Amino acid sequence: MTQHLADALPTSTGTLPGWWREAVIYQVYPRSFADSNGDGMGDLEGIRSRLPYLKELGVDAVWLSPFYASPQADAGYDVADYRAIDPMFGTLHDADAVIREAHALDLRIIVDLVPNHCSDQHEWFKQALREGPGTPLRERFHFRPGQGESGELPPNDWESIFGGPAWTRVADGEWYLHLFAPEQPDFNWEHPAVQDEFRSILRFWLDLGADGFRIDVAHGLVKAPGLPDLGRDEQLKLLGNQVLPFFDQDGVHEIYRSWRRVLDEYAGDRIGVAEAWTPSADRTALYLRPDELHQAFNFHYLNTGWDAEALRGAIDDSLDSMRPVGAPTTWVLSNHDVVRHRTRFGSLDRARAAALLMLALPGSAYVYQGEELGLPEVTDLPDEVRQDPSFFKANGQDGLRDGCRVPIPWSGDQAPYGFGSGGSWLPQPAEWAGLSVEAQTGDPDSTLELYRSALRIRRERADLGAGDAVEWLAAPAGVLAFRRGGFVCTVNTTPGAVRLPAPGTVLLASGPLAEPDVLPADTAVWWQG
C-alpha cells in the first residue's frame, strides 16, 4: 500500500548502502507518549499528531513498542493477534495513518515484533487447550507431561524470567512452557506452521509500509534439544548474558536467514533489529551476518557505567565485534526495560555528556522517549499504580520498570502536562513541569535544545554517523578523547575539571566552558579539529 513511499526515502550514507548504518532511531512507548482521546493512555493518533516534533528533533526513524491486540498482561508483549490493533491504541487505519504521515515527513517506522511467545488468548493457544494432549495444535507450543508419580512436577527446572517456574499446568494435566509470564506461552519454532505464520506476519506489516522490525527476545526462539535441565539454582535476569539452554541457540540463525529473504523482497532497505542478549559481543555479531539481520542492540554499552576506561573498552569491543560481519555498531543509553540513564549515572550533567558521547560514535544510535528532555527515573510510584508483572513476583525481577514508563510531559505547569485531557495511566512528578517540551523549547541551556543541536550537527557532518572506527587521542586519566576525520570529541568523566589543550573550535558542549583548555567535570565537548 505504501511501499513506494519507503522506497522513495533518501539514503544519507555516502559510501555504504543502508540508511540504518547511521540512523538515529527514537523509541516510542505508545501508552506513554501522547493521548488523543483523553482516556489516560497514549495511542496511535497521539503518536501521529506528535510526528512533527520528532521530525524537528532530528531523528531518522521511529520504533514503536507493541500496539497489537493484547490482554496487556505484559504491557502488550503478550500478543493475541499480530494483525490487529488493541482498541486502547486505536485501529489498523490509525496504524496506517502513522506510517503514511511518518513517510511524508521522511521518517521511517520500525514496529515491534514478538515472536518468542504470544498471549494465552491467541487463537492458536486457546484451540490447543481445547483439543487436548497429543493433538497437532499443541505441537505449535511446548506442551509436556509433568514429572513425579502423577505428573505433578514441572517437566524441567527452568525458571521464568519474571520469577517462578517456567511451566504452568493445564486442566488435562499437561504443562506448557513460558519463559516469561504464564499468560505468554512460548512458540515451538521447530514447527513449520510457526515459521510460516511469522513470515506471513512480516509481509503483512511490510505491505502496510513498515520499514523494519525490532525483534523482541530474538535470542530466545530456539530451545536446546530435549529441553535439558538447567542444573543449577540461578535466578534468571531479564537483561543478562548467562549461557542458558533456551537462549542464543544456534538454530535461531536459520530463522533469521529466512526472514532476511522476506525483507529483501521489499524495496527501500527494510531492516531487522535484534534484541539479543548473548554471552558476548562476538555472539551478538552472529545475528548480523550479511544474510541475517541488520542491527542488534548494544546492551554491553548500555550496561557500562560512567567511567572512562570502562567506556573506552566497551566502545572498542563493540566496534571490533561488528567489523568482521560488516554491521553497524549501535549505541543506546535507555529503553523501556531499564532505569533511565540520568538516574543510573547519578546526575543530569552526566546524562547530557553521555548523550554527546553516544551521538559522536560511529554507527546508529537509539533515543528512548523523554531522554531528550533529561527525564529522571520515577522512583516513588505507589505500589497500587504499578503494572510491571514482575513487580508482583516475590522471587522475580526488581519489578521497577514502571519508573521509566511514566508518560512524558509536553506542556503546561500541571500534570498531565499536555499528555492528554484525562490524566495519565502512571502519575507524573510535580517537578516535571520544568522538563516539558514547551518549557525547554527555545532555551539554549536545555537538554532538549542540546539534543536538537547535536542531531543537526550530526546530520550536517560527513565525518559523523556511519563508520566502524575511532582514532583515540592522548588524554588524562578519566578523560576520553577521539577523532573522526575533522571532528574531535572529548569527555571528562571525573568529578573535577581537567586541563586539556583545545583540539580546535567548539561545536557543541554539554555544559558551560569557562576556558577552552579546561574541560569541566562530567562534561563532553564536540570540536572542529
Instruction: Give me the active site residues, please.
Output: 216, 275
Which stretches of 323-446 are DSSP H helices? 341-345, 348-360, 437-440
* Element housing 281 (H / E): helix 281-285
- Bridge-based pairing of strands 364-368 and 24-28 is parallel
Measured between alpha carbons, how far is 102 from 109 in angstroms, rounded to an integer?
7
Specify whether the CB–CB gap between 283 and 249 falls below 8 A.
Answer: no
Specify whether the CB–CB gap between 256 and 272 falls below 8 A.
Answer: yes
All three cell numbers of 292: 541475517
All three cell numbers of 414: 500541571
Helix axes 192-208, 252-263, angle to 10 degrees: 30
Q: Cα-flanking dihedrals φ and ψ of residue 416, to 5°?
A: -90, 20
**Residue 66 DSSP class:** P
* Element housing 498 (H / E): strand 498-499
Torsion of CA 241, 242, 245, 250, to 10 degrees: 40
Amino acid at 167: W
Specify whether the CB–CB gap between 494 and 502 falls below 8 A.
Answer: no
Measured between alpha carbons, how far is 201 from 34 in angstroms, rounded to an integer?
27
Measured between alpha carbons, how far is 141 from 154 in angstroms, rounded to an integer?
16
All three cell numbers of 377: 527515573
Measured between alpha carbons, how far is 427 from 201 in angstroms, rounded to an integer?
35
CA distances from 121 to 79, 182, 256 (A): 8, 11, 26
User: If we measure between CA atoms, which residue out of 85, 97, 81, 82 comes closest to residue 46?
Assistant: 97
The residue whose grid cell reads 495444535 is 137
User: If we measure between CA atoms, which residue out of 355, 324, 310 comes closest to residue 447?
Assistant: 355
Cis-peptide into 416, omega within 30 deg: yes
User: Rg of the chain over CA atoms, in angstroms?
Assistant: 23
